[in-house]
Amino acid sequence: MKKSTAGKNATGAPAGQGPLPEGHPAIAIGKVGVLLVNLGTPDGHDPKNMRKYLAEFLSDARVIEWPKLLWYPILYGIVLNTRPKKSGAAYASIWNRERDESPLRTITRSQSDMLAAALSGHDHVIVDWGMRYGNPSIASRMAALREQGCERILVFPLYPQYSATTTATVNDKVFEYLSALRAMPAVRTVPPYHDDPAYIDALARSIEKHLATLDFAPERVIASYHGIPQSYFQNGDPYHCHCRKTSRLMEERLGWEKGRLMTAFQSRFGPEEWLQPYTDKTIEQLARDGVKNIAVLNPGFVADCLETLEEIAVEGAETFHAHGGEKFSHIPCLNDSAEGMAVIETIVRRELGGWL
């Protein structure tokens, strides 16, 4: 397709700005970028890469809201000298050895490639992906989209439920990058979609499909979301409300009786009280109460990662079995399945309204 020259003079410079200096490359324009962004991943599971990744993640003031004078001595004096080894071992257990990367990176790349294929009829749209922490960074992918002529960019934080610890910090990084530019692209960011019918339907269908493959009927199904400190919720973070609404809508869509689908929160860190009930304690209590068969899904994660593949599928199962439970199944995230990609494409097409 012939490149658009709208808004440019005969030399390739933006209209009204005169000719480009001799030897200056022509400026690409007229493209629309879509940037999928997930939480992040270390480049390797060795201590050095783990320490680098955890330092970036845990020094984010959106993630740990303690004053730096209080938190940094703990982070650099204790956490980063102990946690990399433990976290590295957990990552090693789920590592994609064929590609030498974490599953989150593998899946996010695939989601980007599949979305690009779905939008291939719009040859002025460029799809890319990045990570809030680790590589590829948001700044590097924003720059790459601009270099390819993207004058408009849709940023999609891949978090259905909004939290300042996730969606907001992605947006922070996007606008931090933009703040250093003289000529900024127009930017849109995707809002939370915790109650979007396409998302709820995709979750319900993925649950139904998975349960149909089991040789048992789970007595309880737990929707396990990543937790946040209670204080964040009390200070106005809507995350808890979004998670509860997602669970309620899933239950209604599935047509299940009250109580079969339970909501819990995982991955707490530090001494603060976090959103409750806790997933590990819920799994343990169900087993103690005589519930023999359960399944767990992670509606807040669009791609399987350490928190789903290791913390739930492995540790959760071990906890259940250790306290008397018999059959445990982890329901995969939507990932790059047909259901998952339908959600991403539906939302992207809607948010690109007027730009396609």
Amino acid 4: pLDDT: 39
Q: What is the Cα–Cα distance from 126 to 354, expressed in whole angstroms?
A: 16
The string of pLDDT tens digits covering residues 160-213 is 999 999 999 999 999 999 999 999 999 999 999 999 999 999 999 999 999 999
Global pTM value:
0.91
Amino acid 270: pLDDT: 86
Q: What is the Cα–Cα distance from 127 to 85, expressed in whole angstroms?
A: 35
Q: What is the Cα–Cα distance from 324 to 293, expressed in whole angstroms?
A: 10
Other beta carbons less than 10 A from residue 116's beta carbon: 15
The string of pLDDT tens digits covering residues 39-87 is 999 999 999 999 999 999 999 999 999 999 999 999 999 999 999 999 9
Strand, helix or coil for residue 223: strand
DSSP state, 218?
Answer: -
Task: Establish whether the linkage from the previous residue to 191 is cis, with ω within 30° of 0.
Answer: no
Amino acid 29: pLDDT: 84
Instruction: State the amino acid at position 125 in one-letter form.
Output: V
Which parts of the chain have pLDDT scores under 70? Answer: 1-27
The two three-digit tokens of residue 268, written as one number: 């707490």
Q: What is the Cα–Cα distance from 195 to 175, expressed in whole angstroms?
A: 26
Amino acid 16: pLDDT: 41
Q: What is the Cα–Cα distance from 60 to 124, expressed in whole angstroms?
A: 35
Strand, helix or coil for residue 47: helix
Nearest partner of 28 among 58, 61, 6, judged by Cα: 6
DSSP state, 344?
Answer: H
Other beta carbons less than 10 A from residue 176's beta carbon: 11
Q: What is the Cα–Cα distance from 312 to 93, expressed in whole angstroms?
A: 13
CA–CA distance from 203 to each of 128, 259, 267, 278 (Å)?
24, 18, 21, 22
Nearest partner of 292 among 336, 239, 346, 329, judged by Cα: 329
Locate all alpha helices (DSSP H) within 180-269, ordered by sequence. Answer: 197-211, 230-234, 239-254
Nearest partner of 14 among 32, 28, 33, 1, judged by Cα: 28
Q: Is 352 exposed, middle or buried (0-12, 13-18, 19+ CB in 10 A)?
A: middle
Q: What is the Cα–Cα distance from 49 to 87, expressed in whole angstroms?
A: 11
Strand, helix or coil for residue 58: helix
CA–CA distance from 348 to each of 6, 120, 126 (Å)?
25, 13, 12
H or E segment and range at residue 170: helix 169-179
Provide the pairing of β-strand 220-226 with 261-266.
parallel
Q: What is the Cα–Cα distance from 42 to 55, expressed in whole angstroms?
A: 11
- How far from chain centre, in Å, is Cα 287? 30
Domains of the chain: 197-330 (3.40.50.1400)
Q: What is the Cα–Cα distance from 69 to 211, expressed in whole angstroms?
A: 49
